[in-house]
Amino acid sequence: KFGIQVGLDELFPASYAAALYISTKYPAIKKAFVIGSQGVMDELAAHGIDSVGGPTPEYSQNFIHTEADFSAVELDKEIGAVVCGWDLGFNFSKLATASLYLQKGCLFVGTNGDAYDRLSDRNIPGNGCLLKALETSIGKEAEVVGKPSQWLIDHLIQSNNLDPKRTIMIGDRLDTDIAFGKKGGTATALVLTGCTSPSDLHNQASPVPEEMMPTYVLPSLGSIYSMARTELPPPPPTFLAVDDEAPPG
Amino acid sequence: KFGIQVGLDELFPASYAAALYISTKYPAIKKAFVIGSQGVMDELAAHGIDSVGGPTPEYSQNFIHTEADFSAVELDKEIGAVVCGWDLGFNFSKLATASLYLQKGCLFVGTNGDAYDRLSDRNIPGNGCLLKALETSIGKEAEVVGKPSQWLIDHLIQSNNLDPKRTIMIGDRLDTDIAFGKKGGTATALVLTGCTSPSDLHNQASPVPEEMMPTYVLPSLGSIYSMARTELPPPPPTFLAVDDEAPPG
């Protein structure tokens, strides 16, 4: 659509970040309990990490109906991490099982912390809601490895040999996309066709913090053409990442 | 067991508090969406409030499998409140539906905010986890009407013609039971057979705040006999409420 060729190895969803984080920082962990989609389990598998939970039939319905059921939950000793991603199949039994693994000291990784996503005139609860439930159950916070984690931007810049001065981060959210680019020292461009409106940018009651203020604001993604021709110094910038989420509505 | 006769009208579970709160403060609300058990729905019905959600078959399994399913969720215009209580059948679809009602401006009531309950050597996620998920999805906090709400202790004292000076609140949690009694100006007694250990009471790293410090500490509930005989001035105290939860493990 935009004439930009993107290979599979140039897309970095948060599930990839989670799998990469565990496999590089905690190589001894070979099995995880997952709240999340099949995509999370696939990314873990691609990084040599087996997983249970997610959308598998055993976990698709609540199986804890009584306190006795809870007490009878058997834990798999090989599991060393809990990965929490967005999960339309989230339920109490997954929450309770993940909480038990965390009580045993498993690594606690969140793919992202978005409170909600916008779908036309409705907000659908995001992974931030599921993470908060799990965090509340153990009184500890997850390590969120997707945007805007410092770990991920450092990794992307190093592994792709990017020069931050010649790189621009484009996205539709101030608190994830723009904050992410700024942590990496890249230029940033906010597109207004997603989660953020001009009034969010100029809200006097809650001004945008400096670490989330974009370098450029674009009415739409298409504006990058004219911007690349006129506003940035040559050579043209490297495109680090367009937001990995589908546009709303 | 203790020789204390308790009638049904002398037990005040958090679900009762929620139903009473809505029916007295918001009498125009006649229908609610429930995250919670059948007990919550029964209490609402007893106060003239119809409800959907809870453990009914339509909501017992996830029915939102795609973003299109979410966009197609139809809201019932008669529903004026969301009540969130502990729910072993909690799932994403209930969370998303409750969030939609709250986005439309429905009253938001939580029965209690307990992060977890102790079951032998395991903590099971409590209603506080479900509440946090829902609160995160809309960026607003619920009105928690169970212990330790000021509204509930005021109501119990007034409606039962209790004299706080002759009343003692007995319970096993500092942040709910003891804080609750202190808000009502009653004496308080902590029993050590539940959630709280002597080391919690004397933790120098996180000292117990004054508003949660009990008047008396009892090794067990049975100690109230000797306490009533020896330590409190006559006449013997009125017993306001023994903790309404089953003892753990």
Task: Establish if B3 belongs to a structural domain.
Answer: no
- For residue A248, the model assigns a pLDDT of 40
Give yes or no: residues B46 and B168 share one domain.
no
Mean pLDDT of all residues in A222-230: 71
The answer to whether residue A238 sits within a structural domain is no
- Within 10 Å of residue B96's Cβ, how many Cβ atoms? 25
Judge: B125–A132 Cβ closer than 8 Å, yes or no.
no
Nearest C-alpha of chain B: how many angstroms from A226?
Answer: 33
Which of A62, A120, A137 lies closest to B115 in CB terms? A137
Q: What's the CATH number where A171 sits?
A: 3.40.50.1000
User: Quick one: B97 and B57 in the same domain?
Assistant: yes
Using a pLDDT cut of 90, give the percent of chain B over it: 69
| Binding-site residue positions of B | 147, 172
pLDDT at residue B12, rounded to an integer: 75
Domain shared by B29 and B100, yes or no: yes
- For A145-200, write each residue's pLDDT tens digit: 998 999 999 999 998 999 999 999 999 889 889 999 999 999 999 999 887 888 88
What's the first-to-final CA gap in chain A, in angstroms? Answer: 18
Asked if residue B66 belongs to a domain, the reply is yes
Question: Tokens representing B134?
Answer: 């829902």
- Residue A235 pLDDT > 50, yes or no? no
Domain count, chain A: 2
Q: How confident is the model at residue A36 (pLDDT cuts 50, 70, 90)?
A: very high
pTM of the full structure? 0.84
Say yes or no for a CB contact (<8 Å) between B99 and A136.
no
The pLDDT, as a whole number, for residue B65 is 97
The pLDDT > 90 percentage for chain A reads: 69
pLDDT at B19: 97
Question: Which residue do the tokens 């006559």 mark?
Answer: B234
Residue B214: domain span: 163-229
Please say if the pLDDT value at position B236 is more than 50.
Answer: no
Q: Are residues B171 and B135 in the same domain?
A: no
CB < 8 Å to B132, chain A = 129, 132-133, 135-136
| A39 and A113 co-located in one domain | yes
| Assigned domain for A113 exists | yes
Q: Mark whether B119 and B222 lie in a shared domain.
A: no
- Best A60, A64, A91, A94 member to test B by mutation, with max B CBs in 10 Å, is A91
Q: For residues A17 and A88, state if they share a domain.
A: yes
A123 and A13 part of one domain: yes
Examine residue A3 and state whether it is found in any structural domain, yes or no. Answer: no
Q: Identify which of A83, A53, A133 has the alpha carbon closest to the alpha carbon of residue B94.
A: A133
Share of chain A above pLDDT 70, in %: 86
CB contact under 8 A, A92 and B88: yes
Q: State whether B129 and A90 contact (CB < 8 Å).
A: no
pLDDT of residue A83: 98
Average pLDDT, chain A: 88
* ipTM score over 0.90, yes or no: no
| Predicted confidence (pLDDT) per residue in B68-91, tens digit | 999 999 999 999 999 999 999 999
Q: Which of A66, A117, A122, A138 should one mutate to test binding to chain B, selecting the residue with the greatest count of B CBs within 10 A? A: A122
Task: Kindly report the nearest CA distance between residue B84 and chain A, in angstroms.
Answer: 13
How many angstroms from the chain centroid is the CA of residue A80? 21
Q: Which of A136-145, B117-126, B213-222 is the least confident region?
A: B213-222
Is A91 close to B62, i.e. CB distance below 8 A? Answer: yes
Contacts of B116 in chain A (CB under 8 A): 99, 137-138
Lowest mean pLDDT among A225-239, B127-141, B228-242: B228-242
Cβ–Cβ below 8 Å for A136 and B119: no
Query: Where does the pLDDT of residue B248 fall: very low under 50, low under 70, confident under 90, or very high at 90 and above?
Result: very low
- For residue A89, the chain B residues in CB contact (below 8 A) are 62, 91-92
Choose the final residue of a domain: A144, A174, A209: A144
**Mean pLDDT, rounded, for B168-191:** 92
Enumerate chain A positions whose Cβ falls within 8 A of a Cβ in B. Answer: 60-62, 64-67, 70-71, 87-92, 95-96, 99-100, 103, 115-116, 119-120, 122-126, 128-130, 132-139
User: What integer is the mean pLDDT of B102-122?
Assistant: 94
Closest by Cα among B125, B131, B158 to A92: B125
End residue of a domain, out of B144, B175, B202 = B144
SS3 content of chain A, % helix, strand, coil (to 5): 40, 20, 45
What pLDDT, in 10s, does the model give residues B197-221?
Answer: 888 888 888 889 999 999 999 888 8
Assess whether pLDDT exceeds 50 at residue A120.
yes
Residue among B88, B124, B138 whose CB faces A62 most closely: B88
Quick one: A129 and A221 in the same domain? no
Alpha-carbon distance B174 to B190, whole Å?
A: 8
Q: What is the distance in angstroms between the Cα of B97 and the nearest Cα belonging to chain A? A: 9
Test B129 with A126 for CB contact under 8 angstroms: no
Within this chain, do residues B19 and B81 fall inside the same structural domain, yes or no?
yes
Distance CA A21, CA A18 (A): 5
Can you give the pLDDT at residue B3? 64
Query: Does a structural domain hold residue B241?
Result: no
Instruction: Kindly identify which residue of chain B lies nearest to residue A95, measuring between CA atoms.
Output: B125
Cα–Cα nearest to B97, from B84, B112, B116: B84
Spatial separation of the C-alpha atoms in residues A87 and B18, rounded to whole Å:
29
The annotation places the binding site of A at 147, 172
Taking only the tens place, the pLDDT of each residue in B129-176 is 999 999 999 999 999 999 899 999 999 999 899 999 999 999 988 988
Task: Specify the range with the lowest mean pLDDT, choosing from A41-55, A139-153, A154-168, A221-235.
Answer: A221-235
The confidence band for B235, taking pLDDT boundaries of 50, 70 and 90, is very low
Closest by Cα among A36, A146, A148, A141 to A86:
A36
Same domain? For B194 and B114 the reply is: no
Asked if the Cβ–Cβ distance from B125 to A116 is below 8 Å, we say no
Q: How far is CA B173 from CA A32, A41, A92, B190, in A?
A: 34, 39, 24, 7
Give the closest of B60, B96, B139 to A124, CB-based: B96
Both A134 and A195 in one domain: the answer is no
Q: What pLDDT was estimated at residue B101? A: 98
Residue B218: strand pairing partners: B191
How many pairs of residues across A and B have Cβ atoms under 8 Å apart? 120
> Is the pLDDT assigned to residue A79 strictly greater than 80?
yes
Q: Confirm whether A126 is domain-assigned.
A: yes
Residues of B in contact with A71 (CB under 8 A): 119-120, 122
B237 inside domain = no
At residue B237, does pLDDT exceed 70?
no
Best of B63, B64, B67 to disrupt the A interface by mutation (most A CBs within 10 Å)? B67
- The verdict on a CB contact (< 8 Å) between B137 and A115 is yes
Structural contact between residues B18 and B145, judged by C-beta atoms closer than 8 angstroms: yes
pLDDT at position A249 is 35
**Looking at per-residue confidence, does B201 or B1 come out higher?**
B201
